[in-house]
Amino acid sequence: MSTLVASDLDRTLIYSAAALDLAMPDAEAPRLLCVEVYERKPLSYMTETAAGLLATLADTATFVPTTTRTREQYGRIHLPGRAPRFAICANGGHLLVDGESDRDWQRTVAARLTAECATLDEVRAHLLHSADPAWLLKERVAEDLFAYLVVERSLLPQTWVKELAEWADARGWTVSLQGRKIYAVPKPLTKGAAVAEVARRTGAAQTLAAGDSLLDADLLLAADHGWRPGHGELASSGWDAEHVTALSEHGVAAGEEILRAFTRAAAAPDRSC
């Protein structure tokens, strides 16, 4: 297959109930397919139309789920269509091949982290020291690669994330605010680098990508064509690039439109998207 399609999942292709953003009367709302269950409760959805588009796309292109989720969190998702041979978890920290983390890629990532940025321990210590218990709900480490905080957004000082981002940038880390989560991720740990490795292995002639957050920016920049929804961190900051289409659709409707764009581009790889 000559086209590689790499897409972020949460708030790009799949949506929690709170993120669906159904801008129509209840009677006109689309039928939804649950694609993730957590603690015996439905958690993430896509429309049935989007599910059909994804199943068709997986038969005509190399579809690569590309997520900041850990491998365990990714394992809860059951997307329609054929199971992807490749998947990217932990923001590029793990490249799954037929469900198993590729050891050569693990070694490549470890070498980059050692050479190019501050340690996880240093960054985690700063997070815990500077966070206020009044708004900090949880602190987590993902795959021993990066850290994130779960916060009460209504109590979070407006300047705190900016100050954290400046501190982290000087140490080779990126900060991203997504919903109630504040991620601190090493700059060498990128979705774009992992997708480039998949493209190399598959010999893809073109790469298509989609994402909504700051952690997806490098992925979009590395693709031949990209799309971002009308919501999310990239939209709110006005981020753009010449080959990236900024969609007007929000919520689960954006997921549908992204999959339509993928399908059109994969069917006509020689055309401008």
Residue (of 145, 156, 202) closest to 179 by Cα position: 156
Q: What is the pLDDT of residue 134?
A: 96
| Mean pLDDT across 190-212 | 97
Q: What is the pLDDT of residue 270?
A: 56
3-class DSSP state of 211:
coil
pLDDT digits (tens, 9 = 90+) for 220-233: 999 999 999 999 99
Mean pLDDT of the chain: 95
Q: What is the pLDDT of residue 24?
A: 86
Q: Is the pLDDT of residue 240 over 70?
A: yes
CA-based angle 238:242:244, to the nearest 5? 70
Q: Is the pLDDT of residue 40 over 90?
A: yes
Residues of the chain with pLDDT > 70: what percent?
98
* HSE-CB for 16 with a 13 A CA cutoff: 8
The strands making up 173-178's β-sheet, listed across from edge to edge, are 136-142, 146-151, 181-186, 173-178
| Mean pLDDT across 170-187 | 94
Pairing of strands 225-228, 244-246: parallel
Residue (of 165, 161, 169, 154) closest to 131 by Cα position: 161
Tokens of 78: 């059951």
Q: What is the pLDDT of residue 269?
A: 63
Residue type, 269: P
pLDDT digits (tens, 9 = 90+) for 85-137: 999 999 999 999 999 999 999 999 999 999 999 999 999 999 999 999 999 99
Domains of the chain, start order: 3-110+189-267 (3.40.50.1000), 118-186 (3.90.1070)
